[in-house]
Amino acid sequence: MSTFGPVTRFAPSPNGSLHLGHAFSAIAAHDLAREGGGRFLLRIEDIDGARSRPELAAEFREDLGWLGLEYEEVPPQSTRLATYAAAAKRLRAMGLLYPCQCSRTDILTANPPMGPEGPIYPGTCKGRSAIAEERAAWRLDVAAALARTGPLEWHDDLAGPQIARPELLGDVVLVRKDEPASYHLAATLDDAADGVTLVTRGADLFAASHVHRLLQALLGLPQPRWHHHALLLDVSGQKLAKRRGSASLADMRRRGMDGRALACNLRAGVLPAGISLGKG
């Protein structure tokens, strides 16, 4: 289908029920597409075979309908494993991936520098030979990749023009030990395959976009624009999370709450008690 307006997406991982933060994010992506005469997509990010609960995809669809959001669903990540493997093979052939056998404990005991998403990989396995490749994860050699692409720019509609700084996250894993791709590789390839032109998601993934811009350049993928919205925070000022007791949309729905009214309130900035909107 051709379209002139923005193509946005909501891309939840089916490892837990959706909460208000997800509703806020889905509404933002939906409204940006609708206001611009574009398309709003739903993509189930079920790359993590061990943590995915297939029954949650049906729950997510019901949640979106309850909020009054119409969407087009695109294929879930579990159907695209061959595409991820092919892209990883290309990056390996370019000499930009290296195998890594470090466990989380190995990384933490090396006193790594801290980045916006936790410890930055200290490069322990880079240049190391004798790594059993079949039991390794594969990391992107960010310095070599940037040397190949040269400086890159990207644009966030709220934060303005950005110079890509993928080194903020360091040599991220692109191929996991047990899966053909990590979130970074899968989401970047999917956004291109789905024709997404405006990547709308929470500000907690801002740093990831630096890496995604680099992957787009390496793999010759089109460059979208980005819109990282502020996050809903709980009483302790932390982003909403099921594990910290944030109520699920499915529970609200089953209790008979009006989802469309809730969506109107979120749009108007009328938030439930104890919930606030963070800084972008």
Q: Which helix (H) or strand (E) holds 167?
A: none
What SS3 string covers 57-84? HHHHHHHHHHCCCCCEECCCHHHCHHHH
CA distance 59 to 243: 18
CA 47 and chain centroid, separation? 12
Sequence-separated (6 or more) residues with CB below 8 Å from residue 165? 210
| Choice between 139 and 228, CB closer to ligand GLU | 228
| Distance in angstroms (rounded) separating the CA atoms of residues 157 and 209 | 13
| Complex with ligand GLU: residue 28 or 120, whichever CB lies closer | 28
Q: Which is nearer to ligand GLU, 107 or 205 (CB)?
A: 205
Residue linked to tokens 């980005």:
226
By C-beta, is 146 or 196 nearer to ligand GLU? Answer: 196
Residues in contact with ligand GLU by the rule CB under 6 A: 11-13, 45, 187, 201, 205
CB of 128 to ligand GLU, least distance (A): 31
By beta-carbon proximity to ligand GLU, the closer residue of 84 and 98 is: 84
Query: From the CB of 208, what's the least distance to ligand GLU, in Å?
Result: 7
As measured in angstroms, the least distance from the Cβ of 69 to ligand GLU is 15
CB of 135 to ligand GLU, least distance (A): 26
Nearest approach, Cβ of 127 to ligand GLU (angstroms)?
A: 31
63 and 257 Cβ atoms separated by less than 8 Å = no
